[in-house]
Amino acid sequence: MFKTPTPSPGQLTSDKPKPELRIAKLEADLKAAELSRDTARAELAAAHDRLQLAQINHQEVAKERDALQAGLKSKSAERDVLYSKLEGIQKLLKDALGQTETVILPAPPAASPTSAAVEPTISIPAPSGL
């Protein structure tokens, strides 16, 4: 019948990889995975540091915002007080001006109906010596 051909020693090694080659490939894959892991850890640490800096910056900005809001409220209240004082001063000045005008410029006397009909008389002296 048919005889199966027996493989030659070169055929055995070419069909199946040698264990040393397989181990070398696995070790290379392990080193690549370790390098990838270390790179990812470094990137994670850098991202963590950036996050912490951003949080610190956020806190500082929030404090500054709160201080500015408090200052704005204070200045607005101060402005309102000064504005009300200004309105009071304006009212006092208007009242004082009105009183001054009444003292300096008295009201003209009312015209009576009898004084309008009376005409003033002018006397002219007669010439002497003629």
Instruction: Provide the pLDDT for residue 84.
Output: 96
Average pLDDT over residues 100-105: 76
High-pLDDT (> 90) share of the chain, %? 58
What tens digit of pLDDT does each residue of 111-121 get? 655 555 556 66
Terminus-to-terminus CA distance in the chain, angstroms?
195
Residue 64 has pLDDT above 80, yes or no: yes
For the chain, what are the domain ranges? Answer: 17-106
Rounded distance between C-alpha atoms, residue 67 and residue 9, angstroms:
86
Model confidence at 107, pLDDT cuts 50, 70, 90, reads low
- Three-class secondary structure of residue 122 per DSSP: coil
DSSP 44-58: HHHHHHHHHHHHHHH
Buried b (16+ CB within 10 A) or exposed e, 21-59: eeeeeeeeeeeeeeeeeeeeeeeeeeeeeeeeeeeeeee
Model confidence at 99, pLDDT cuts 50, 70, 90, reads confident
Instruction: Provide the pLDDT for residue 103.
Output: 74
Of residues 127 and 33, more confidently modeled: 33
Instruction: Provide the pLDDT for residue 98.
Output: 84
DSSP alpha helices (H): ranges in 1-129? Answer: 9-15, 19-104, 113-117
- Average pLDDT taken over every residue of the chain: 83
Rounded distance between C-alpha atoms, residue 67 and residue 69, angstroms:
5
Instruction: Provide the pLDDT for residue 14.
Output: 55
Instruction: Provide the pLDDT for residue 47.
Output: 98
